C-alpha cells in the first residue's frame, strides 16, 4: 500500500456541530471548534465532560451521531481510523507487548509500505529525539512507565501525522515524572511542529503545555482561550472554579466610574474593571483569586478594594504559602493564599482581619451563575 492520499491531508482541525448521543444523553453536544495547524491545544474538563469522546471521534474510534470533522479541506468524518492523517497516544500507552520497541515504532510506517531503509532512518531518528536509542531491541514490559510513555509518543509522531491526539497521556505517571514529561512533550511539539490535541482533567498540565485551552463541561465548551485569559478573565463560574480556585461573592452593580463598575458587596463598595466583567444585568458574582488578596490584622492601613470585619477561621501552612480561611460578617467563607515572602507574623485562628486587593485583579460573572459549579 502506497502512502494514502488522504493521510497527507494537512491544515486546521475543524469540528462542525459535532454531537455524540447515547440514547437521551449527549456526551458531546453540538460542538464546533477550530484548532489551528501547529498549535498545542488542550481539551480540559472533569471526567464525563465529553473530552475523550471528542478525541475518539477525531481518531475514528467513535462514530459521531451528527456533525462533521475536517482536516484542512479534507472531510474525515466517515473515514476509517487507519485512513486518517491522525495518530493517537493512548491512555496507558497500548504498546504492542509482543513486539520490540523498534517494531512498535515501525508499525505504522510498515503498514504504509515504506522501504526498510527509510523505516530504519525514521525509527532511529525518533528514538534519538526521545533520547532512548538504547531501548530499540527491548520489549515494552521491560521499560519503566516514563519510558513507555515516550515510546508511545515516538510510535505516533514517527508517522508525521497532521494531528497528534493525546488521551490523558501522563495520567499513569507519578507527579515528578509528570512534570518532566510535560516539559518534554511541549519541547517535542515545538521541535516537530505537529498539531497536538491533548485531553486532560489536570488543569495544571493543560496550563503548562497548551497554547490554547478549551474548558469542556457537559459536552459543551464553556470557554476557550490562552491559559492567561482563562485564569484572569473566566466567563463562567465553572471555569473560575475548575481552573484554579476562586472566591465568588454575590453583589449588586450600583454605578460606574468610567473604566470600572462599582459593585456593592454586602454594603461595601468595590471596583471591578468593565473589561473583565461578563455580567449581563445588575446582579453579579465578583471573583477574586485567593492569591490576589492581601491579608492584614484589623486596623492596619490598606488600599485598593477593601473588605473589613473578617475573622480567620482556619490556617494551613504549606511552605511557600499560608492558606487562610476567612469568615466574613455575611457568613461567606473566603480563601486567601499569602506568600511566605516577608517576616510578617502568621495570623492565628480567630484573629480579626481586613482583606484588600488591587481592583484590576477583580473579575465579574453574571449573577445567575452557580457559585459552586466546577469546584474541586
Tell me the pairing of strands 260-265 and 268-273.
Answer: antiparallel
**246 binding another protein? (CB under 8 A):** no
Choices 29-37, 55-63, 128-136, 350-358; region in contact with another protein by CB under 8 A? 55-63
Phi, psi of 186 (to 5 degrees): -60, -40
Query: 302 with 292: CB under 8 angstroms?
Result: no
Reduced to 3 states, what is the DSSP secondary structure of residue 136?
coil
**87 binding another protein? (CB under 8 A):** yes
d(CA 135, CA 127): 8
Q: Of residues 63, 111, 137, 349, which one binds another protein by CB under 8 A?
A: 111
Choices 42-50, 68-76, 104-112, 231-239; region in contact with another protein by CB under 8 A? 104-112
Count of chain residues binding another protein (CB under 8 A): 27
Choices 87-95, 143-151, 238-246, 284-292; region in contact with another protein by CB under 8 A? 87-95
**169 binding another protein? (CB under 8 A):** no
The helices-and-strands tally (H runs, E runs) of the chain is 8, 20
**142 binding another protein? (CB under 8 A):** no
Q: Of residues 19, 21, 29, 90, which one binds another protein by CB under 8 A?
A: 90
Query: Which residues make beta-bridge pairs with 357?
Result: 305
**108 binding another protein? (CB under 8 A):** yes
Between 91 and 322, name the residue whose CB sits nearer to another protein.
91
Q: Of residues 45, 60, 219, 367, which one binds another protein by CB under 8 A?
A: 60
Residue 261 parent element (H or E):
strand 260-265
Choices 120-128, 129-137, 152-160, 279-287; region in contact with another protein by CB under 8 A? 152-160
Reduced to 3 states, what is the DSSP secondary structure of residue 61?
coil
CA neighbor of 171 nearest in space, from 107, 275, 118, 92: 92
Choices 15-23, 39-47, 95-103, 367-375; region in contact with another protein by CB under 8 A? 95-103
Q: Of residues 37, 112, 139, 294, which one binds another protein by CB under 8 A?
A: 112
Between 83 and 218, name the residue whose CB sits nearer to another protein.
83
CA distances from 286 to 77, 223, 236, 242, 366 (A): 42, 18, 11, 16, 9
**86 binding another protein? (CB under 8 A):** yes
**136 binding another protein? (CB under 8 A):** no
Q: How far is the CB of 101 from another protein (least distance, A)?
A: 14
Strands (E), 186-259: 195-200, 212-217, 220-225, 247-256
d(CA 92, CA 369): 37
Distance of CA 13 to the CA centre of its chain: 18
d(CA 243, CA 375): 9
d(CA 30, CA 51): 13
CA distances from 83 to 3, 7, 58, 236, 265 (A): 10, 6, 12, 39, 58
Q: Of residues 20, 51, 150, 155, which one binds another protein by CB under 8 A?
A: 155
Choices 21-29, 58-66, 273-281, 342-350; region in contact with another protein by CB under 8 A? 58-66
Between 59 and 206, name the residue whose CB sits nearer to another protein.
59
Residue 138 in grid coordinates: 527491548
Q: How far is the CB of 71 from another protein (least distance, A)?
A: 15
Q: How far is the CB of 167 from another protein (least distance, A)?
A: 9
Q: Residue numbers of the site for another protein (CB under 8 A)?
A: 4, 7, 59-61, 80-83, 86-88, 90-92, 94-98, 107-108, 111-112, 155-156, 159
Amino acid at each position: 500500500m502506497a502512502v494514502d492520499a488522504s493521510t497527507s491531508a494537512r491544515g486546521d482541525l475543524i469540528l462542525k456541530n459535532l454531537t455524540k448521543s447515547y440514547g437521551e444523553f449527549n456526551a458531546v453536544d453540538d460542538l464546533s471548534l477550530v484548532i489551528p495547524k501547529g498549535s498545542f491545544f488542550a481539551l480540559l474538563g472533569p471526567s464525563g465532560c465529553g473530552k475523550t469522546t471528542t478525541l475518539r471521534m477525531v481518531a475514528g474510534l467513535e462514530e459521531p451521531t451528527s456533525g462533521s470533522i475536517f482536516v484542512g479541506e479534507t472531510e474525515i468524518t466517515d473515514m476509517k481510523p487507519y485512513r486518517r492523517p491522525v495518530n493517537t497516544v493512548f491512555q496507558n500507552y497500548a504498546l504492542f507487548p509482543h513486539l520490540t520497541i523498534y517494531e512498535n515504532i515501525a508499525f505504522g510506517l510498515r503498514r504504509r509500505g515504506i522501504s526498510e531503509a527509510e523505516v530504519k532512518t525514521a525509527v532511529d531518528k525518533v528514538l534519538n529525539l526521545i533520547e532512548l536509542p538504547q531501548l530499540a531491541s527491548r520489549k515494552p514490559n521491560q521499560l519503566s512507565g516514563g519510558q513507555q510513555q515516550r515510546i508511545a509518543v515516538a510510535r505516533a509522531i514517527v508517522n508525521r501525522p497532521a494531528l497528534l491526539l493525546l488521551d490523558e497521556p501522563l495520567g499513569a505517571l507519578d507527579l515528578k515524572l509528570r512534570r518532566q514529561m510535560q516539559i518534554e512533550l511541549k519541547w517535542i511539539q515545538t521541535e516537530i511542529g505537529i498539531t497536538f490535541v491533548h485531553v486532560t482533567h489536570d488543569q495544571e498540565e493543560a496550563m503548562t503545555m497548551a497554547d490554547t485551552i478549551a474548558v469542556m463541561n457537559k459536552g459543551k465548551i464553556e470557554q476557550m482561550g490562552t491559559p492567561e485569559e482563562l485564569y484572569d478573565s473566566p466567563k463562567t463560574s465553572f471555569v473560575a472554579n475548575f481552573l484554579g480556585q476562586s472566591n465568588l461573592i454575590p453583589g449588586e452593580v450600583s454605578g460606574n466610574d468610567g473604566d470600572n463598575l462599582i459593585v456593592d458587596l454586602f454594603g461595601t463598595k468595590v471596583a471591578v474593571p468593565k473589561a473583565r466583567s461578563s455580567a449581563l444585568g445588575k446582579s453579579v458574582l465578583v471573583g477574586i483569586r485567593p492569591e490576589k488578596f492581601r491579608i492584614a490584622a484589623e486596623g492596619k492601613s490598606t488600599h485598593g478594594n477593601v473588605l473589613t470585619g473578617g475573622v480567620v477561621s482556619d490556617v494551613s501552612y504549606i511552605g511557600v504559602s499560608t492558606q487562610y480561611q476567612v469568615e466574613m460578617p455575611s457568613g461567606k467563607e473566603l480563601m486567601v493564599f499569602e506568600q511566605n515572602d516577608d517576616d510578617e507574623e502568621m495570623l492565628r485562628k480567630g484573629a480579626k482581619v481586613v482583606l484588600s486587593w488591587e481592583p484590576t485583579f477583580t473579575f465579574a460573572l453574571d449573577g445567575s451563575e452557580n457559585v459552586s459549579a466546577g469546584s474541586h
